[in-house]
Structures are given as C-alpha cells and as structure tokens.
Amino acid sequence: MSANFYFGIEVFLNGMMAGVLYSLVALGFVLIFKASGIFNYAQGVMALFAALTLVGFQNGQIPFSHLINAIFGTNIHHFGWHMPAILAIIFTLMVMILFAYLVEKYILKHLVNQEPIILFMATIGLAYFMEGFGDLMWGADIKKLDVGIPQGGNIWLEEHTAFLGGDDFYGFYLDNLDMLATIFAGLLVVSLVLFSQYTKTGRALRAVADDHQAALSVGISLRAIWVIVWSIAGFVALVAGIMWGSKSGVQFSLSLIALKALPVLMLGGFTSIPGAIVGGLIIGVGEKMFEFLIGVPFLGGATENWFAYMLALLFLVFRPQGLFGEKIIERV
Amino acid sequence: MLYREAGDFKTSYAKDQQTFPIAFDRWGYFITIAFAVLVVPFILNDYWSNAVILPFLIYAIAAIGLNILIGYCGQVSLGSGGFMAVGAYAAYKLMTAFPELNIIFVILLSGGITALVGMLFGLPSLRIKGFYLAVATLAAQFFLVWLFNKVPWFYNYSASGQISAPERSLFGFVVTGANAHPATSYLFCLGFVFVMAWAARNMTRGANGRKWMAIRDMDIAAEIIGVDPLKAKLTAFGVSSFYIGIAGALLFAVYLGAAEVGEAFGIEKSFLILFMVIIGGLGSIFGSFAGAAFMVLMPVLLKNIMVGQMSWPTDLASHFQFVIVGGLIVIFLIVEPHGLAQLWRLAKEKLRLWPFPH
C-alpha cells in the first residue's frame, strides 16, 4: 500500500469530520424549516452571534463598548472578570432563548401566512441585522474562543496507526476537535430524535411540522412552538459556533458556514434530520476527495466552494426533494 | 381634478391598451424622460454620478432582469452576481479581442452570452422547484466566480487577476475608461435603461409575459392549459440573464472601470439585487426602479449622516449600516410585503378618488 493510498483515507476521514460540522449547521435549518416552513438564512449568523456572545461573556467584555465610547467619548472595554466556560455557555444559551422570543414576537408573528419567499427574505434581513448587531455589541476583531476543547492532532491515533504504511507514513492525522464535534453531533441528533419522539412538546413539534392548521385546531400554540424551535435552533447554533469558533477563531467568516450548509440541506432534503447528517457526510467526503483527486491536480484547487453545490444539483435532478425529503405532492 | 380617467376618451384599441391610461401619468412620464435627458446631464457632477446616478441606473437594469425571473416567472434565483460576472467578463473579452467592435454591440453581445449561460443554469428549474431551485442557483454563483478566478484566459493572463476596461468611444465621445465624462457615461447608461425598461414592460404585457405569470401562479395548471413549461422557464431565464448580463457589462465597463471577480460579483451582489426586487415589489417594472433607488440611496445617506454629520469611526458606521439595512428590510416586509410598487399603487388609487373618497 502506497502512502498516497493512506493519505487518501486520511482525506476521507477528515472529509467525514468536516461533513459532521456542516451537518451541525444544517440541523438548525432543518429544525426551523420543519416546524414553520421558514428557510432560515440567519442560521449561520446565529452561530456567529452565539460564539461572539460566548466569548464576550467569558472575557467580561462590556456590550456596545465601542458605541458608548464613540458617543460619550469614554474609554471602557472590560468588566475585568473571567467567567468559567460552563457559566458563559449557560448565559449564552439564555441570550439565544431571549433572541428566539424576540424574533417570534417582532418578526414571525407579523408574517404569518405570507409567502415562503417573503419569509426567506425576512430571515436574510434578520441575518444582516444580527451581523451588524453582533459587531456593534462585541466588536468586529477576530477573537479566540477557548472553552477547554483540546486542540491539535490526536497523537495517540497517529502513533497507533503508523505501522499500517511504510516508512514514509506517519499515521493518520485527525483533529481532536473534529472528533469531539462528531461525538457532539451524534449526541445532539440522538437527543433531538428522542425529544421529538418521546416528549409531549416533541409530539407537538411534529404535529406543527405536519400541518399548521390541524395543530392549531387541537389546541397547540403555534407561537409557543416557534419560540421553542428557534430556541433549539439557537442551541444548535451555539454548538456549531463553539466548534467552528474553536477551530478557526470567532470572526465574520463564521457566518458563511450557512452557505456550506445549504448544499447539505438540498442533498438531504429540507425536512429530514437524518438527511442533514447523511447529506453532511456525503458533501464533506465528496468535496475533500474531489479536491484531493481532481481539484488540486487538474483544476488549480479551491474547488470546495462550488463542488458541494454541483454535487447537490446533480442529486436533485434525479430526486427533486433531496435524498430523504418528503415526497412533493402537487395538486392543481 | 388632475388624476382622472374621466374625459380621456379612448378611440382606438391601441389607446385603450396603452401603458399609462391616465393623462396625468403620461405627462409625468414624458416630463421625467425629458428631465433625465435634457436637464440632468448638465447639472451632473462627479460625486453624484459615481455615488448615486450610475449605480442606480445599472442596478435598475439588473433588478428588472431579476424581477422578470422571480416576479413574473416565479423562479427564485440567487445567482445574479455570477451572471453579472459573465456579462462583465464577456464584455472584457470582446473589447480586448475585437477593438474595432462598437461598444453598443459589445454590451449587447455580452448580454447574449449571459443569456446562453443563464439558460444553461436554468435547465434544472424544470425538475427542481422553490427553495431547492434557489439554492441550486447558488451553484451558478460559486462556480462562475471560481471559474473567472482560476482560468487565466478570462482575464487575459494579467498578473493581478483583475480586468480593466480599455477606452472606447461612441460618436466621438469617450464612454468607457478613466477619461469618460460623467454626462456621457450617464447618457449611455440611460439609453440602455430606457430601451430595456420599455422592452421589459411590453414583453411582460404580451404573450410571453402571460405565459410566465401562468407558470408563476401554478405551473401544473399552466401546463394543462397549454403553456410549455420548458419554453416559458427557459425564455424567462434567458431574458432575465440577458438583462443581468448587460447590467454586469455596464457595471464593469462604464462604472467600475476595473474589477476583480470575487470582490465585484460575489454573493453579496446577488443578495443586493434580490433586496432591490423584493423591496421594490415583485412583478413590477416601476418597483425595480424604486427598489434600486432605495438600495443605492440609503447607504449613501446613512454614511453621510453617521460619518459626515456625527463623525463616528467608519467601521462603527458600517456596522450600524448593517443593522439599519437589515432592520429596514424586515420592517418593510412586515408593513408592505409587496414592496414600494404596492405603496405607489395604493397612492394612485387614493389619488383617483381624491378629494371625494366616497
């Protein structure tokens, strides 16, 4: 076996890990789309906002300090404390729940019964708003997020797989963070499935996803459900924000992971939670392998930007509702 | 008693079907055109031309194009930035490969090339619908930008990867390049805007437009009454991309002068044009103009107020701008989901009954 072959396997494994991270973001999309038929473009910015808030709490930053300084000519930046990670996460979660409540109260409530494209546009507007708001609140500089997740490659794995190849093979290099993310994503999916199958709220969620009017008529409060769903999506965004933020720092580009998650959604189907996971894995592995086998040698690299979309497009031509999406039934 | 149909007798079918059935509207239209052609070129200065008027005119073309696709044919597209890039690069290649070619033909041909590319990327729309299609058009956006970035042939192997417009003139007046006078660039763009808006308005009233609207309202029903979805959707993609391509070519050749694909035609551009269409009003040519004016003017205004008047740091002002733009979009959608065009329509209805509304 040549080293190139093992390197291929390593690329494959890394692709899977990257796919899991995409799935994490896609999961938030699916939750909201199922429950309210809204295609929430702001999901990526929510992840960014959650990560910003988390870092802000941890470092004891004063919210809006730049703005206050600009208006009143003061020079304040920090409260001067360092919050433990777990406490900061809980506070951030509370902020995300508050955010969900505000979104429902000030936006969604007023847009009931509008066309999907209008709702989609509203979430793009929301994304712009949050992007500016997050920067205003916590500043736009690149921040380091550290909640105690081990960084770097896994030495144990590298040492114990080195025997597989020849002298030029040093074992598989996998990021600790990626592996942890995989575990978290797995836990998240299992708990979401359990939650929606075995709790009363979960059943209500599924009822709303199935048919808004029927759900309303048996006494399920749509508005409460929307707050819950957006809160869960906020939680998923927080997890995604922590994972991506620890990996590459908290900065504007974090919100662009939404664009990475879109082909995952298309591939897996907008309405399927397992679809988001499987779609994420296919896209992650697909784009890394394509870049490794064809992109870098023949096309000059950087194919990752569009390959996922093309792949999803190809799948869609044969299955217009995605791999796991509900079959589209059209009536005249 | 100005704004009335009463007393304006229609004596032929042509008159009965004219675009502006009310005399006041007609006069308003002629006066606007006369003002735009006869007065504006003489009072135009560099700042206004570059900051407001030129982007407004060019984006209006792009917005009309996207409005044909989304507002009239109901196919949501997020690939307009990519298609503008096709127009720009086509114009660049044509200008450098055929220096003798008249600039008008260059721009029209770039529109034609974009139309072909648009139809190619419109093919999946026959299978894929709704949001799946919207996301699928992002494939066009990312792929095209990557293509123009990676294949040196498109930017003539220039070291910086940029394209820059050579100088071309029309009837002895310099139109593109650094030496163009603001008034000539303005009139050049205005000519395109006028012809294309007129064409779009009449196209959407005719057989094609009705087919598009039938597809938008319910494609299966449209198919049953004899509208060919393949033809209708592909013509919509083609016409729309033609407009967007021309806007891209103008943006690059007349307005920017030099462009780098990721920066000038990135996904933000797609969203910007989408905002214009939605805020202006889906399915309305006037709305495309209104939306373009709104989205061009507002950031200029905000910047002037916050940086100019209140002397905030620019980065803070730009964050604030995001907040305000995002907030305004949401508020707009809540207050009037059908956009500025609907407000205009309501105002006109009120005006017809004024001052005796009962």
Q: Where are the domains of chain A?
A: 3-318
Mean pLDDT of A220-231: 88
Class of domain A3-318: mainly alpha
Residue B146 to residue A302, Cβ atoms within 8 A:
yes
Within a 13 Å sphere around the CA of B311, how many CA atoms are in the beta-carbon half? Answer: 2
**Are the Cβ atoms of A70 and B323 closer than 8 angstroms?**
no
- Please give the pLDDT value at position B165: 78
Three-class DSSP category at B164: strand
Alpha-carbon gap: B257 to the closest alpha carbon of chain A (Å): 27
Say yes or no to pLDDT of B236 above 90: yes
Using a CB–CB cutoff of 8 Å, tell me whether B134 touches chain A: yes
Angstrom distances, CA of residue B218 to CA of A16, A99, B214? 40, 37, 6
What whole-number distance in Å separates Cα of residue A293 and Cα of residue A15?
13
List of chain B residues whose C-beta atoms are within 8 Å of the C-beta of residue A111 = 333-334, 337
Can you tell me whether residue B131 is helix, strand or coil?
helix
Query: What does the pLDDT read at residue A159?
Result: 67
Q: Which amino acid is at A137?
A: M
Taking CA–CA distances from A38, the nearest residue in chain B reads: B131
Contact residues on chain B for A114, CB-CB shorter than 8 A? 333, 337
Q: Is residue B56 in some structural domain?
A: yes
Question: What's the domain count of chain B?
Answer: 1
Within an 8 Å CB–CB cutoff, is residue A322 touching chain B?
yes
- Nearest CB among B130, B221, B329 relative to A125 is that of B329
Count of CA atoms in the C-beta half-sphere (13 A) of A319: 15
B94-108 average pLDDT score: 86
Residues of chain B found within 8 Å of residue A117, distances taken between Cβ atoms: 70, 76, 278, 282
Q: Which residues from chain B sit within 8 angstroms of residue A328, using beta carbons?
A: 129
In sequence order, the β-bridge partners of residue B170 are B173
Structure confidence at residue B1 (pLDDT): 55
DSSP one-letter code for A78? B
Choose, out of A128, A136, A287, the residue to mutate when testing the contact with B (most B CBs < 10 Å).
A128
Indicate if the pLDDT at residue A171 is higher than 70. Answer: no
Residue A274 has pLDDT above 70, yes or no: yes
- Cα distance from A70 to chain B (closest Cα, Å)? 6
State the Cα–Cα distance between residues A7 and A165, nearest whole angstrom: 10
Confirm if B86 and B245 have CB atoms less than 8 A apart.
yes
pTM, to two decimals: 0.86
Angstrom distance (rounded) from CA B175 to CA A55? 52
- Of A131, A299, A316, nearest to B150 by CB-CB distance is A299
Measured distance CA(B93)–CA(B275) in Å, rounded: 30
Answer whether B135 sits within 8 Å of A263, measured CB to CB.
yes
Task: Give the pLDDT of residue B259.
Answer: 81
The verdict on residue B280 lying in a domain is no
pLDDT for A167 beyond 70 = no
Whole-number pLDDT of residue A308: 83
Which amino acid, A254? Answer: L
Q: Tell whether A116 lies on the interface with B, counting CB pairs under 8 A.
A: yes
Give the residues across from A175 on adjacent strands.
A153
By DSSP bridging, strand B173-174 and strand B258-259 are: unpaired
**Residues of chain A contacting B152 with CB distance shorter than 8 Å:** none
pLDDT at B233 over 60: yes
Q: What share of chain A is helix, strand, coil (3-state, %, to 5)?
A: 75, 0, 25
Q: Do B321 and A66 touch (CB under 8 A)?
A: no
Q: Rounded to 5 degrees, what are φ and ψ at B312?
A: -85, 160
Distance CA(A120)–CA(A32), nearest Å, equals: 12
Residue B310 lies in a domain: no
Per the model's pLDDT, the better-predicted residue between B105 and B136 turns out to be B105
Q: Which residues of B touch A263 (CB under 8 A)?
A: 135, 139
Domain hosting B249: range is: 43-266
CA A238 vs CA A15, A86, A138, A244: distances in Å? 22, 13, 16, 10
**CA–CA distance, B146 with B150 (Å, rounded to integer):** 6
Interface confidence, given as ipTM, is: 0.80
Contacts of B337 in chain A (CB under 8 A): 111, 114-115, 118
**Cβ <8 Å between A330 and B135:** no
